[in-house]
Structure 1
Amino acid sequence: MPHRAEELAAAGAARTETVGDEAARLRNKPTLTTHDHLERLEELAGVRQAFQRITEGAADAIARGFHEAKQRKRDGDARTLLDITLECVGRLRGGETLKVVEGGLAGGVKVADPSTGAFFKIAEEPGNLYGGSSVMADKAAKHELAMLTHLHEADAARLLTVPLASCVDVTVRDAAGRPERVYRVQGFSRHAVGGDTLRVGSSDGGRTTHVCAELDGVAEELAAGLHLSESCLLPIKKVFTRHEYRRVRGDRDPDGFPRLGPATDALLESVGAGRHAAESSGVCAQVEAEHGVVLDPLRPVHAEHSATVASDAGGVPSRLPFDVELHALPWGEVVLLDTHRLCIPDVTGGVAAAGGQVAVVWAAALRAPPGADGKGSRAAAGDC
């Protein structure tokens, strides 16, 4: 999936439209009639099919390269698994443009393809996050794909950027043609996200939680659509990063507003926002004063962002599971990442959880040694 790694964010660099960009544009495309709406859905379905075709060849190279890298590591290669994977993938057909990137343990090895705007994760977790269980890693991948599919089909989520996704199971065989291993490779559309765009959620396993009042409405709508209650989980180290935005009014800039003809200029004059006036007046100034808004089209407005590390959330509720991320891009786009925990949440049982607290089984609890609690090994329920 597009991830938090800074390698995926080309800040300020010019870029061509990728398949993911096209899908986001179609999801935000306004429709006036039923025909327009159906046409938009057909176009979006075509983009998804195109993305599936794009990811199939790369997924095969990633799985085979990763399988070879693991064998080399077992044979004593001292390099990191990521470095060996990069070398092995690059030598295979379809892997020439692939780049192995770093970015968290969850999801397994991550590979980017700058030539197509695709991002891949292979459901094999080198950090032992799921106790070494490839079955659990595959299950998390399946949940993520299911939730992304649901969100793409939910029209209520169309103004939230949801990555395109595909899933390819690759069977790797030995020289005699016998199957050795099946790898599940996920493909996602890449987006310009990074550590500096995260506004809601945690990118470090719950050590720090990001909160943002400006995005609370987005998180609330998403949680309501999925019937989630508020999360009461605190960061492991009780550290919050609070993001705030301050609206800044610039000076009137007549040259920054397009010249649309005498009729438009006359309309601006009539409402008190004339092109040559030093300040707005009349109806424009009155509405601005009464409602605290900027109505003058000749006055640029921008938002200044600030981030503060604190020991509390500043009154901003945690409406989503702790590691579901919302990223705010400079041009106003909000990207949703790490959705697998949204798919099948489990309500805690036998415990009076505040507000019907939604909890999710923590797969890492499977690592608990037998008898650690005097009752044998079991999995614990909790948000983390």
Structure 2
Amino acid sequence: MPSRESMGDKVARLRNKPTLTAHGHQERLEELAGVRQAFQRITEGAADAIAWAFHDAKQRKRCGDARTLQAITQECVGRLRGGENLRVVNEGIAGGVKVADPSTGAFFKIAEDTVGIFKGSSVMADKPAKHELAMLTHLHEADAARLLTVPLASCVDVTVRDAAGRPERVYRVQGFSRHAVGGDTLRVGSGDGGRTTHVCTELDGVAEELAAGLHLAPSLMTPSSGLFTRHEYRRVRGDRDPDSFPQLGPATDALLESVGAGRHAAESSGVCAQVEAEHGVVLDPLRPVHAEHSATVARDAGGVPSRLPFDVELHALPWGEVVLLDTHRLCIPDVTGGGWR
């Protein structure tokens, strides 16, 4: 049974959908708007349950519950209506308590300083949340981000009231579309707070275009451990496989034959072979190509510049999709003890 298309995957498909007419382009934009509105509706109900559960968890923690805030929140959210499918997850140390909803492909976090990065200030914790939402909104429309998959985002402010109806606290819950990213997909940036840095020659062009579109100077931050992880890809050409190319009729077969990529030929020839030789590409549609990935830990970046702030992440998924994460740092410059970077 084919897997259900998530909201994030649908937006990525629609953003990259080719259109030939003004009408087709307008239809695509309307579909995109519909998906974004649907995502907003999906996240509103879950955000309410998450805020109430988190508020209850904090109160229990103050009353002496020795468990982690994440564990208490999971127990509380499971008891609430609308929280049956929600799962508290441990992903990163910043951003507060994080919750996933596998049933909708959504990911949530509360802008609360739970680990003391901002000395417990919820106001300061809310600042990167605002930056992240602002940048995601911009990137969904920016031409510079057309080579990237940018998560959907929503923001819901939930007022928690006491038994008498008096407001006790307002929580800002952010919702994002979740993508199949992790430590093994990280190619550019840092996933451990700047201790190590990932660089990738193949994604440098994407990072460069994004940095140019946002008028960012190259980052001067270096990993605190002095270690870089260099990612490299090697293109591997397979043997011609006529069975992998669909049967599209005599006209298509004749076209392939005319350019030197005939279905029954042992090797490509003619125009196809000439273009491949001159430009170093694989033009033959019957020849499968795949990339082999390798990662090497080194003391230098291998000549690949750090075009983005250190903890802005680019992830490469196996099917070629490039996902951009931690976008709040794109709104402000890097700052270190030695000054602006």
* TM-score of the alignment, normalized to the shorter chain, above 0.5: yes
Q: Which of 94, 98, 110 pairs up with 1:106?
A: 94
Which residue matches 1:166?
Answer: 154
Pairwise CA distance, 1:217:
0.8
Which residue matches 1:180?
Answer: 168
Q: Which of 185, 204, 207 pairs up with 1:219?
A: 207
Which residue matches 1:129?
Answer: 117
Pairwise CA distance, 1:14:
5.5
Alpha-carbon displacement from aligned partner over 1:212-271 (angstroms, at most 9, x marks no partner)? 111111111111111001111101111111111100010111111112222322332233
Which residue matches 2:77?
Answer: 89
- CA distance change for structure 1 residues 15 and 129 in 2, over 3 Å: closer, same or farther? farther
Pairwise CA distance, 1:284:
2.2
* Structure 1 SS opposite 2:154: strand
CA contact (8 A) 2:147 2:206 kept: no
How far apart, in 1, do the equivalents of 2:33 and 2:242 lie? 43
Pairwise CA distance, 1:42:
2.1
Alignment of 1:179-328 (within 5 A): 179-328=167-316
How far apart, in 2, do the equivalents of 1:227 and 1:270 lie? 47
How far apart, in 2, do the equivalents of 1:323 and 1:203 lie? 7
Which residue matches 1:349?
Answer: none
CA contact (8 A) 1:240 1:309 kept: yes
Which residue matches 1:79?
Answer: 67
How far apart, in 1, do the equivalents of 2:8 and 2:310 lie? 25
* Structure 2 SS opposite 1:153: coil
Q: Which of 321, 334, 341 pairs up with 1:360?
A: 334
Structure 1 stretch 172-181 or stretch 306-315: which is displaced more? 172-181
Seq. identity, %: 84
How far apart, in 1, do the equivalents of 2:220 and 2:258 lie? 53
How far apart, in 1, do the equivalents of 2:292 and 2:334 lie? 36
Unaligned residue ranges in structure 1 (runs of 5+): 1-12, 346-358, 366-379
Letter in 1 for 2:141: E
2:129 maps to 1:141: yes
Pairwise CA distance, 1:361:
4.7
Pairwise CA distance, 1:97:
0.5
Unaligned residue ranges in structure 2 (runs of 5+): none
| TM-score scaled by length of structure 2 | 0.95
2:34 maps to 1:46: yes
Alpha-carbon displacement from aligned partner over 1:107-129 (angstroms, at most 9, x marks no partner)? 11100001111100101121111
How far apart, in 1, do the equivalents of 2:334 and 2:258 lie? 58
Pairwise CA distance, 1:18:
1.7
How far apart, in 2, do the equivalents of 1:285 and 1:313 lie? 36
Pairwise CA distance, 1:299:
1.0
Task: Give the count of matched residue pairs.
Answer: 341
How far apart, in 1, do the equivalents of 2:280 and 2:183 lie? 33
| TM-score scaled by length of structure 1 | 0.85
CA contact (8 A) 1:105 1:129 kept: no
Letter in 1 for 2:7: V
Structure 1 stretch 307-316 or stretch 269-278: which is displaced more? 269-278
* Structure 1 SS opposite 2:66: coil
Which residue matches 1:372?
Answer: none
How far apart, in 1, do the equivalents of 2:309 and 2:271 lie? 46
Structure 1 stretch 113-122 or stretch 73-82: which is displaced more? 73-82
Which residue matches 1:351?
Answer: none
How far apart, in 2, do the equivalents of 1:381 and 1:90 lie? 46
How far apart, in 1, do the equivalents of 2:118 and 2:82 lie? 30
CA contact (8 A) 1:211 1:316 kept: yes
Letter in 2 for 1:360: D
Alpha-carbon displacement from aligned partner over 1:127-182 (angstroms, at most 9, x marks no partner)? 11112111011111111000001111224423311111011111111222222211
* Structure 2 SS opposite 1:251: coil
Letter in 2 for 1:81: L
Letter in 2 for 1:75: C
Which residue matches 1:376?
Answer: none
Instruction: Name the Cα RMSD after superposition.
Output: 1.7
